[in-house]
């Protein structure tokens, strides 16, 4: 119990030191209050609803690519049999095709390079 208490006291002192360091760093930027710092998610927002949808579609397409890669690796490692693999690949390929087709259509409507 005493060892645990000593360990907790040491952890508390480390946390207090880090908190003091953070407060010192915070004082270096007095003219930038936290309320003025923009939300990071706003940097990845489109200017129009169509651009917003393009960002979402790009994320969906990339996620499906990653999922297909992991499924292929599971099949090669013998952790997944062929029938469920093919079923999932077919479903994901259809979903990715629709996402890509919609992205191409939006890009055409927005006069962006295809």
Q: What is the pLDDT of residue 40?
A: 60
Is the Cβ–Cβ distance between 46 and 52 less than 8 Å? yes
- The Cα–Cα gap between 44 and 1 comes to 50
Is 0.75 surpassed by the pTM of this model? no
Q: In the predicted model, is pLDDT for residue 57 greater than 90?
A: yes
Q: What is the pLDDT of residues 65-102, one digit of tens each?
A: 999 999 999 999 999 999 999 999 999 999 999 999 99
Tell me what pLDDT residue 17 has: 92
User: What pLDDT, in 10s, does the model give residues 4-30?
Assistant: 899 999 999 999 999 988 888 877 776
**pLDDT at residue 37 tops 60:** no
Q: 41 pLDDT exceeds 80?
A: no
Which structure tokens are listed for 95? 């979903």
- Report the C-alpha gap between 86 and 93 in whole angstroms: 10
At residue 34, the pLDDT reads: 52
**Nearest Cα to Cα of residue 95 among 72, 114, 67:** 67
Cα separation of 68 and 32, whole Å? 44
pLDDT score of 27: 78
End-to-end CA distance of the chain: 67
Task: Note whether 44 and 55 are within 8 A (CB).
Answer: yes
Q: What is the pLDDT of residue 33?
A: 53
Q: How large is the greatest C-alpha to C-alpha distance in the chain, in angstroms?
A: 70
């Amino acid at each position: 119990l005493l060892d645990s208490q000593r360990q907790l006291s040491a952890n508390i002192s480390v946390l207090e030191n880090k908190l003091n360091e953070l407060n010192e760093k915070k004082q270096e930027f007095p003219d930038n209050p936290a309320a003025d710092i923009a939300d990071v998610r706003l940097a990845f927002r489109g200017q129009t609803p169509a651009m917003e949808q393009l960002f979402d579609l790009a994320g969906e397409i990339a996620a499906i690519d990653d999922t297909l890669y992991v499924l292929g690796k599971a099949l090669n490692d013998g952790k997944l049999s062929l029938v469920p693999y093919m079923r999932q690949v077919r479903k994901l390929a259809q979903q990715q095709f629709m996402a890509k087709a919609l992205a191409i259509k939006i890009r055409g409507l927005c006069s962006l390079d295809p």
